[in-house]
Structure 1
Amino acid sequence: MAGDKTREQRVRSLSRAAIGEAKPFAIRNATKIDARGIVPHFWMISEEGRIVASGTRDEDFAATMERLHPASSPEVQPEVIDAAGKMLTPGYIDIHSHGAWESSFDDGDEGIATARAGHAVHGTTRQVLSLITNPLDVMCANMAAVARQCALRPDCLGAHLEGPFLALSRKGAHDPNCLRDPEPSVVDRLLEASQGCIRQITIAPELSHGIEAIRRFSEAGVVPAIGHCDADYAMAKRGIDAGARILTHVFNAMNGIGHRNPGPIPAVLEDRRVQVELINDGFHVQNPVVGMAFDLFAHRLALITDSMAATGCADGDYTLGKLAVNVEDGHARLVSNGAIAGSTLTLDVAVGRAIREIGISAVEAVEAATVGPACALGLDRPNDVTRYPLGLLAPGYAADALVQGAETWKVESVWCEGRRLV
Structure 2
Amino acid sequence: MTPLTTRPLTAPRVPLAGDAGPGTDSPLLIAAGTVVLPDQELSPGWVEVRDGLIVASGAGEPPRPADVVLPAAVLAPGFVDAHNHGGGGVSFNDSDPAAAAARIIRTHLGHGTTTMMASLVTAPLAEMERLVRALAELVRAGLLAGIHLEGPWLSPKHRGAHAEELLRAPDPASIDALLGAGAGAVRMVTIAPELDGGLVAVARIVEYGAVAAIGHTDADYELTQAAIAAGATVGTHVFNAMRPLHHREPGAALALLDDPTVFAELVADGVHLHPAVVRLITESPARTVFVTDAMAAAGAEEGDYKLGALDVRVADGEARLSDGTIAGSVLTLSGAVRYAVLTAGVPLAMAIRAASQNPADLLGLTDRGRILPGLRADLVLLDPELHVTATLHEGTWVSRAVS
- Asked if these proteins are the same fold (TM beyond 0.5), I'd say yes
Q: How does 1:26-65 map to 2 (within 5 A)?
A: 26-30=28-32, 31-56=34-59, 58=61, 60-61=63-64
C-alpha spacing 1:340/1:57, structure 2 compared with 1 (3 Å) = closer
Q: Which amino acid aligns with 2:221?
A: Y
Question: What is the CA–CA distance in structure 1 between the aligned matches of 2:178 and 2:355, rounded to whole Å?
Answer: 29
RMSD over aligned Cα atoms: 1.8
Q: Which amino acid aligns with 2:148?
A: H
Give the structure 1 partner of residue 244 of structure 2.
256
Q: Which amino acid aligns with 1:157?
A: A
Q: 264-273 vs 107-116, which deviates more?
A: 264-273
The Cα shift of 1:344 comes to: 0.5
Size of the aligned set, in residue pairs, is 375
- Aligned residue for 1:51, secondary structure, equals strand
Deviations 1:339-366, CA, capped at 9 Å, x for gaps: 1110111111110111111221111111
The Cα shift of 1:310 comes to: 0.8
Give the structure 2 partner of residue 159 of structure 1.
147
- Aligned residue for 2:216, secondary structure, equals coil
Identical positions, percent: 40
Give the structure 2 partner of residue 9 of structure 1.
none
Question: What is the CA–CA distance in structure 2 between the aligned matches of 1:334 and 1:25, rounded to whole Å?
Answer: 50
Give the structure 2 partner of residue 310 of structure 1.
297
Q: TM-score, normalised by structure 2?
A: 0.89
Question: What is the CA–CA distance in structure 2 between the aligned matches of 1:320 and 1:182, rounded to whole Å?
Answer: 22
Give the structure 1 partner of residue 257 of structure 2.
269
Tell me if structure 1 keeps the 8 A contact 2:45–2:62. Answer: no
Matched, 1:419 2:372: no
Give the structure 1 partner of residue 227 of structure 2.
239
Question: What is the CA–CA distance in structure 1 between the aligned matches of 2:51 and 2:93, rounded to whole Å?
Answer: 32
- Aligned residue for 1:354, secondary structure, equals helix
The Cα shift of 1:57 comes to: 5.8
Question: What is the CA–CA distance in structure 2 between the aligned matches of 1:110 and 1:273, rounded to whole Å?
Answer: 36
The Cα shift of 1:21 comes to: 4.6
| 1:113 paired residue among 88, 91, 102 | 102
Give the structure 2 partner of residue 375 of structure 1.
361
The Cα shift of 1:56 comes to: 3.4
Q: How does 1:380-399 map to 2 (within 5 A)?
A: 381=366, 388=367, 390-399=368-377
Tell me if structure 2 keeps the 8 A contact 1:355–1:362. Answer: yes
In structure 2, stretches of 5+ residues that fail to align are: 1-20
- Aligned residue for 1:255, secondary structure, equals coil
Matched, 1:97 2:84: yes
- Aligned residue for 1:319, secondary structure, equals strand
- Aligned residue for 2:271, secondary structure, equals coil
Tell me if structure 2 keeps the 8 A contact 1:29–1:40. Answer: no
Give the structure 1 partner of residue 325 of structure 2.
339
Question: What is the CA–CA distance in structure 2 between the aligned matches of 1:61 and 1:41, rounded to whole Å?
Answer: 15
Give the structure 2 partner of residue 132 of structure 1.
121
Tell me if structure 2 keeps the 8 A contact 1:126–1:416. Answer: no
Give the structure 1 partner of residue 338 of structure 2.
352
Question: What is the CA–CA distance in structure 2 between the aligned matches of 1:118 and 1:28, rounded to whole Å?
Answer: 24
In structure 1, stretches of 5+ residues that fail to align are: 1-19, 63-78, 382-387
Q: 24-33 vs 282-291, which deviates more?
A: 24-33
Q: 80-89 vs 214-223, which deviates more?
A: 80-89
Q: TM-score, normalised by structure 1?
A: 0.85
Whose helix proportion is higher, 1 or 2? 1
Tell me if structure 2 keeps the 8 A contact 1:83–1:403. Answer: no
Question: What is the CA–CA distance in structure 1 between the aligned matches of 2:82 and 2:184, rounded to whole Å?
Answer: 16
